[in-house]
């Protein structure tokens, strides 16, 4: 798998145990942090009463994705990372999943979390401040990917914002 292009992270220090913002993406002018050629997504200036929205839909074989650029973490000492995001399920069926994958240090550490539409969320609702927290063990870089695991080409999710925080 080709590595995502590198993006510039905020200069941070977080020695007091509080969460420190690393990067924020609100999609107001485009894909920003997620300007990656493998993505299967569309950008909208407005959708479902939100400004700056990305739609992940359809996809190859029922899989759609939105992958970030590489986020450098070299000048940090984070032991944990938290990804906070807002999403809206447009058309997800019972067996469909909405997943967030993370990759640290060029694949040395990987993980995922999937939310199943049958149990975790409903269509036609905004879910704000959803999050995934994971160990970072002083990682040097990170990239994340939102993806849909669906059984047809009508599985759609809107993303409104993504914020990544670190904790020492």
Per domain, the residue ranges of the chain are 14-81
In sequence order, the 6+-apart residues with CB closer than 8 A to the CB of 75 are 11, 12
Q: pLDDT at position 142, please?
A: 97
Distance separating alpha carbons of residues 107 and 162, to the nearest angstrom: 21
Compute φ and ψ for 156, nearest 5 degrees: -135, 140
Enter the pTM of the model: 0.86
Q: pLDDT at position 123, please?
A: 86
Q: What is the DSSP letter of 79?
A: S
Q: What is the DSSP letter of 32?
A: G
Q: pLDDT at position 62, please?
A: 53
Angle at 103 between CA 98 and CA 108, to 5 degrees: 145
Q: pLDDT at position 87, please?
A: 95
Q: pLDDT at position 95, please?
A: 77
Q: pLDDT at position 39, please?
A: 76
Q: pLDDT at position 5, please?
A: 55
> What tens-digit pLDDT sequence spans the chain (168 residues)?
444 554 444 433 444 569 999 999 999 999 999 998 777 788 999 999 999 999 988 655 556 789 999 999 988 889 999 999 999 988 887 778 889 999 999 999 999 999 987 778 888 999 999 999 999 988 999 999 998 887 666 678 899 999 999 999
């Amino acid at each position: 798998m080709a590595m995502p292009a590198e993006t510039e992270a905020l200069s941070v220090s977080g020695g007091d145990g509080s969460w420190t913002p690393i990067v924020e993406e609100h999609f107001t002018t485009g894909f920003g942090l997620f300007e990656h050629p493998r993505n299967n997504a569309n950008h909208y200036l407005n959708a479902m009463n939100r400004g700056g929205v990305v739609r992940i839909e359809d996809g190859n074989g029922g899989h759609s994705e939105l992958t970030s650029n590489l986020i450098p973490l070299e000048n940090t000492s984070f032991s944990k990372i938290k990804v906070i995001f807002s999403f809206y399920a447009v058309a997800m069926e019972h067996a469909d999943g909405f997943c967030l994958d993370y990759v640290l240090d060029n694949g040395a550490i990987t993980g995922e979390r999937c939310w199943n539409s049958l149990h975790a969320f409903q269509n036609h609702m905004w879910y704000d401040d959803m999050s995934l927290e994971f160990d970072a063990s002083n990682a040097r870089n990170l990239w994340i990917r939102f993806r849909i695991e669906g059984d047809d080409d009508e599985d759609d999710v809107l993303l409104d914002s993504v914020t990544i925080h670190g904790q020492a």
